[in-house]
Copies of this chain bind each other. A is one copy, B any other.
């Protein structure tokens, strides 16, 4: 029997994670190192339970509300998988995009959907300055509802991607890295290149690169952010990355040269994202309902974007990395040159060579989400894990 959950419960014992109970998971940098570690530990523990056909249901009934303001297949299925694993049923909130409105409505909606909600997962990544703000409004509303006795439980918010961070992605990425390199203790001094890459669509969210530099700098790695001029990410997140690096004994730097970033990298993460300033401008234009302005901006962005078609992860580029063998990462779906588009983020042969690795990377996400839920719902997570094993555990499949 491969089931040795004790390793995980021992780890949890040493962590100070009391603050996670009944709390949300919005930004990784709002969490302590112990809390981040606890998510990884519980994610691994839940995977271990599943591999051994032991049920991880901590709920006999309950709802996991999902509120997706952007299309999603991967994250939607990961969220549904995580909820199901713990015993919650998913209930989608199909919200018209115009319903966002003023504070009153957010408060009301948040309470009305939460009478039996244990978790609320939100994806809101379309407009700069909006997503995270919205999540905090919802969190505030349900907190108040709980205090007032309107809600019998305080539903936990899980950020499934906002305008600032994409914690379930960056933490799944990180757990993949940890497993790939045989443990977090082996990451010191490893170089990771988070690089912009060309895609014919110019408007992808910034939350992935921001999430990556905001998290990966906490493990003593050398994190290098590369992008063409004009594709800067949020200033605050860059400062945070620098501070994180200092504290963790790693480094953080930015370069406008993709080759510079790839040079001797142990990990490369080439991915398209939108220019921040332009996205801010677009948000304002939308607020003004200025369609002409939006159309002009789009033209400008497309022509600007087209100048950087050579920012792409070719075999040539991969040769620059450590022994030519850096771990290639992507949050998927990738824009693959000659496959899903004429010119894209990555050459087909590179993508194919790392296909299995990327699927494994993606496979951590359901467990990361489940771990976030688990830690917010367990007063004593160590004890909770042990409960799941009492009497040998309930088989997931008879």
A→B interface (CB under 8 Å): 47, 50-51, 55-63, 65, 73-74, 77-78, 80-81, 84-85, 87, 89-91, 93, 95, 101-102, 104-105, 108-109, 111-113, 115-116, 118, 145, 148-152, 332-333, 336, 339-340, 356, 359-360, 362-363, 365-366, 377, 384, 387-388, 394-398
Q: Which of B51, B336, B360 contacts A150 (CB 8 A)?
A: B360
Name the distance in Å between A312's Cβ and chain B's nearest Cβ: 17
Would A78 and B398 count as touching, CB distance under 8 A? no
Q: Pick the residue among B62, B81, B115, B340 that contacts A116 (CB under 8 A).
A: B81
Residues of B within 8 A of A78 (CB): 115
CB-based contact A113/B340 at 8 Å: no
Interface residue from B81, B115, B384 paired with A398 (Cβ < 8 Å): B384
Knowing A78-B115, A81-B116, A359-B145, the reply to whether A109 touches B60 (Cβ < 8 A) is no
- Of chain B, the residue at the smallest CB distance from A113 is B77
- Tell me, rounded to whole Å, the shortest Cβ–Cβ distance linking A276 to chain B: 28
CB proximity of A99 to chain B, nearest CB, Å = 9
Determine whether the beta carbon of B85 is less than 8 Å from that of A150. no
Contact residue among B84, B93, B366 (Cβ-Cβ distance under 8 Å from A62): B84
Cβ-closest 8 pairs across A and B: A81-B116, A55-B60, A150-B359, A58-B398, A80-B91, A77-B113, A148-B356, A74-B112
Given contacts A112-B359, A148-B356, 19 further A-B contacts (CB under 8 A): A50-B152, A55-B60, A57-B61, A62-B84, A63-B81, A73-B113, A74-B112, A77-B93, A77-B113, A80-B116, A84-B91, A84-B116, A89-B90, A105-B340, A112-B332, A115-B365, A148-B359, A150-B363, A377-B397
Pairwise interchain contact B356-A150, C-beta atoms closer than 8 A: yes
Q: What's the least CB distance linking A123 to chain B, in Å?
A: 15
Closest to A116 in B: B81
* A89-B90, A108-B332, A360-B149 given; A397·B73 CB < 8 A: no
A257 to chain B, nearest CB (A): 30
A69–B223 Cα distance when bound, in Å, is 44
User: Which residues of B sit under 8 angstroms from A51, Cβ to Cβ?
Assistant: 152
The 26 listed contacts between A and B (C-beta, < 8 Å) are A51-B152, A55-B61, A56-B61, A59-B398, A60-B396, A61-B84, A63-B81, A65-B77, A73-B95, A73-B112, A74-B112, A77-B91, A77-B113, A78-B115, A80-B89, A80-B91, A90-B91, A104-B340, A108-B332, A108-B359, A111-B359, A115-B362, A116-B366, A148-B356, A148-B359, A150-B359
Given the interface contacts A73-B109, A115-B363, A360-B149, does A59 sit within 8 Å of B396 by beta carbon? yes
In the complex, what distance in Å separates the CA atom of A363 from the CA atom of B59? 21
Q: B62 contacts A60, CB within 8 Å?
A: no
CB distance from A151 to the nearest CB of B (A): 8
With contacts A112-B77, A150-B359 taken as known, whether A61 is within 8 angstroms of B396 at the C-beta atoms is: yes
Whether A80 touches B60, Cβ cut-off 8 Å, given contacts A93-B73, A150-B363, A377-B397, is: no
Within 8 Å CB of A397, what residues of B?
58-60, 62, 118, 377
List, in ascending order, chain B residues with CB within 8 A of A151's CB. Answer: 363
Q: A55 — which chain B residues lie within 8 A by C-beta?
A: 60-61
Tell me, in angstroms, the Cα distance from A235 to B83 when the chains sit together.
47
Q: Is the CB of B63 within 8 A of A60?
A: no
Residues on the B chain within 8 Å of A387, using CB: 398
